[in-house]
Structures are given as C-alpha cells and as structure tokens.
A and B are shown apart, each in its own frame.
Chain A
Amino acid sequence: MTAKISYDDVEVGTELPARTFGVTRATLVQYAGASGDFNPIHWNEKFATEVGLPDVIAHGMFTMAEAIRVVTDWTGDPGAVVEYGVRFTKPVVVPNDDQGATIEVTAKVGAKLDDNTVRVDLTAMSAGQKVLGMSRAVVRLA
C-alpha cells in the first residue's frame, strides 16, 4: 500500500481538500441499482411523503460513500482506510428537479495514531444541516 500522503507531513488540524458532491433523482436510481437497495423512499415521492418524509431522500450509504472520497482522494489508495464509521443524523432531501441536492464534505486530521495511521474527522452538510455525525475514518499513511 502506497498512500501518497506521508504521516510525517500531517499534523492534528491538517485540513483535507473539501469537496461538494451533487445528487439528483437519477443519481439515486443509479445507486439503487448498483447497491441493490430499492427502498422506495429513495425514488418514489408519493411513498416517501406517506411515511412522513419531506420528499425523496438519498440513501444514507450513498452519502457515506461520497464522504469517504475526501479521504481516498487525499491518500490515493482506497485500501489504506482501516476504519470508517458514521451516524446518519439528518436525511439528504433530493427534490425532483435538475439541480437535486448537494453534499458538502470537509475533513481534518483529528489525531495521529500508532502505526502511521491518523484519524480523520469528517463533516457532511446538505441544505445547511449536518447529515452525518460522529463521522470518522482511520487511514494508514505512507
């Protein structure tokens, strides 16, 4: 494994390049197919509102998949992720228009750990709300 970021070059507080990810209804249909999660709350507005949601919402696992890209793009080696955990705090609401929703992900090094690993603390926001909580990855650096 050859992560392109060196352990010695990062400090607690080092910020990773932030990213904004777009998500439309088409994205959710594609993710449903690829992941096998066909829960209608992710594509059927009528169903979603009937179960008390404001609109169709993104799969939590889609948001989780986007957030870790900030880490894997930073290290270059996705296999360097040792641990990754999130709490789904608010849904990403995806309106039926061309714009959809956005997920803004920021991340910084929260701790330097043993064995060339660091803990990265992630924040994911959509429509001004925190959509992931306790979002942390442990990643091995070069």
Chain B
Amino acid sequence: MALDQSFVGRSYPPTDPYEVGREKIREFAEAVGDANPAYTDPDAAKALGYPDVIAPPTFVFSITFRAAQQVVQDPQLGLDYSRVVHGDQKFAYRRPVRAGDRLTVTSTIEGIKSLAGNDILDVRGEVHDEAGEHVVTAWTKLVARAAEEA
C-alpha cells in the first residue's frame, strides 16, 4: 500500500537530549577499528583545536536513526518496517560531534515516493547542541520493499 503523500513536510517534536560520552565514542571507534587518537585522547583532540575528543563522522547516525523511529513507527504513516532497507545516507557537518555534547534531533519527512511497489521514505534529521547551535544534518533514505504476491 502506498504511503500517504500528505505526510511530506511533517516534522516531529525534538528528541530528549542525547549526551555524548567519551567512552561511547571510544567504544564506537574500536568497533570500526579506527585508532585515530582524536577519538580517544583529549590532548590529541585539543591539538586539532577541539575542546574534547570528537566522534567518527558516522557516529551520529545512532542518534539520528533512533530519532527517526518516531517517523518509521508512526502508526498513521503505516510503514512496514519489517521490509525496510537502508537506501542512501548523507551527512552535512557544521562541526564534529564531541564528548560532552547534549544533542537533540528534529526529524522531518522530506519525501515519499512509490517506485515499482516499493515505498521510499526520505527523512531529514537536524541535530542541535544544548546552545541551540546546528551541529549536523543527516538525510536517511529508507526503502520498504514491495511485499511478494501471496
């Protein structure tokens, strides 16, 4: 069933703040095998001009994707999440995410398309810090594959 086009442009309330911790960044950097000291050593991060360790570029996806669950699981939208695959992902950074950040995400449905029976949903997540400054924007394209004929 095609998704309701009238949801395009709909924004969801900002999430509660996610507090970025040094050890969570370390855990993520280790999981992707990245030994860049800017992720684990505050002095190395300071040498690059940052107040604390910074997160790898894709770290923020964990936060924006959690926020996007508001959209994905909106019963009024009716997306079949069991059939969803990740199509595209893009980030635009104002500055790197860093330890100590308290980040909120505002998710907006940017587009809904139906292509060959697949539902294609574009969600934009605007990430702001505690001071209200923009940190990064994440665009996520989700594709709900057409159900097979029974």
User: Contacts A83-B91, A85-B88 known; A73 to B28 CB distance under 8 Å?
Assistant: no
Residues in chain A near residue B62, CB distance under 8 A:
35-37
Taking CB atoms and an 8 Å cut-off, the chain B residues in 103-144 that contact chain A are 139
Bound CA span A78–B57, Å: 7
Contact with B along A15-57 (1 / 0, CB 8 A): 0000001000001001101111100000000000000000000
Given that A36-B66, A79-B95 are contacting pairs, would A84 and B27 also be in contact in the complex, using a CB cutoff of 8 Å?
Answer: no
Known: A34-B30, A61-B58. A85 touches B39 (CB 8 A): no
- Give the B interface residue count (CB, 8 A): 34
Interface 0/1 of B78-104, CB less than 8 Å to A = 000000011111111101100000000
A88: Cβ under 8 A from any B Cβ? yes
B88 interface neighbour in A36, A78, A82, A134, Cβ under 8 Å: A134
CA gap between A2 and B57 in the complex, in Å: 17
> Judging by beta carbons under 8 Å apart, are A35 and B57 in contact?
no
- Supposing A34-B28, A35-B28 touch, asked if A78 and B58 sit within 8 A by C-beta, the answer is no
Kindly state the interface size class of chain A when it binds its partner. 20 to 34
Beta-carbon contact of B28 and A79 below 8 Å: no
Task: Give which listed residue, B28, B88, B92, contacts A86 with CB less than 8 A.
Answer: B88
Q: Which residues of B contact A (CB under 8 A)?
A: 27-28, 30-34, 36, 38-39, 47-50, 54, 56-58, 61-62, 65-66, 85-93, 95-96, 139
